[in-house]
Structures are given as C-alpha cells and as structure tokens.
Structure 1
Amino acid sequence: MTEKELSELTDEELLAKAKKMKSNSIMNAALIGVMIGITIYGVIKNNFGLFAIIPLFFLFRAFSNPKNKALKSILKERNLE
C-alpha cells in the first residue's frame, strides 16, 4: 500500500492496520531469532556458507519494510500513536 492510499484511510482503519502491524512484529521477531540461530549454526558447522547467507538476506528484507515506515509516519501526522 502506498503512502497516498494510506492517507485516504480513516482513523479507525489506520489504527486497525497499526494493530495488525504490531501483531506481525511479534511473529517477525520470532522468525528473526530462528534465522539468527540458523546463521550461527551454519557458521559454526560449515564456516560461512549457504546456510549463513540466506538467513542474512531475509533479515535484511525484514528490517527494510517501507510499508511500516509509511504507516508510522501517517499515524504520527494524525497524532494516533
């Protein structure tokens, strides 16, 4: 969803999206923990191979989500945080 589409939503819809984003962040934290564990295991067992590179790529993708940044900025503009 782009920032323009987010700005057209009502306050209630934005708060619902923020609540969903918050619950998704718990799941993301668990997955990030698993990926860090896989990376550490891969480095210990196989030096720095495929098992280390793939989870690191997904970690990068998880932390650079532009949708969450746009939603947070609109929530801040409307003082809904």
Structure 2
Amino acid sequence: MKQEELTGSTDGKLLQEQKKKKSNKISTFIIGMLIGVSVYSAIENGFEFFTFFPLIIAYFFFRQQKKDQA
C-alpha cells in the first residue's frame, strides 16, 4: 500500500493487510519447498509422475497467491 493509503486506513484494514503479507510469506515458502522436492526427486529417481506432482500443487498455491494480491 502507498503511504497516503496507510495514513487514512482503519485499524481493521491494516490488520487485514498484515495477514495477507504473512500469508504470502508462508505460500512462498511452501512453493519453494515443493519445487525443491520436485528437483530432488528428478535428480534421484528421474522423471516420473511423482516428480511433477509437487509442481502441480505449487501451481495452485501460486495461482491463489496471485488472486490474493489482486
């Protein structure tokens, strides 16, 4: 949010923005973990269904994160 928007906001709106930012940090961490698991699986076992499964789940987290930002 811009500085002008922050000064005119209510406490409830500021708390809601803080929750969104915390949620985005958690989502980003989960996406990173899922990509890491997928890369590790590809290195150890080659490419198979379970290599791409974490990437599919990460895509849904990423899509939800983009919806929350809009």
Q: 1:64 to 1:11 in 2, by over 3 A?
A: farther
Q: Which of the two has greater helix per residue?
A: 2
Cα-to-partner distance string for 1:2-48 (whole Å, 9 max, x where unaligned): xxxxxxxx954443222111001111121112111110111111211
User: Which consecutive residues of structure 2, in runs of 5 or more, have no partner in the other structure?
Assistant: 1-8
User: Which consecutive residues of structure 1, in runs of 5 or more, have no partner in the other structure?
Assistant: 1-9, 73-81
Task: Report the number of matched residues.
Answer: 60
Partner of 2:47, secondary structure, is coil
Runs of 4+ in 1 over 6 A off after TM superposition: none
Q: TM-score, normalised by structure 1?
A: 0.59
Counting aligned pairs with the same residue, the percent is 25
CA RMSD for the aligned pairs? 2.0
* Larger relative contact order (CA 8 Å, sep ≥ 6): 1
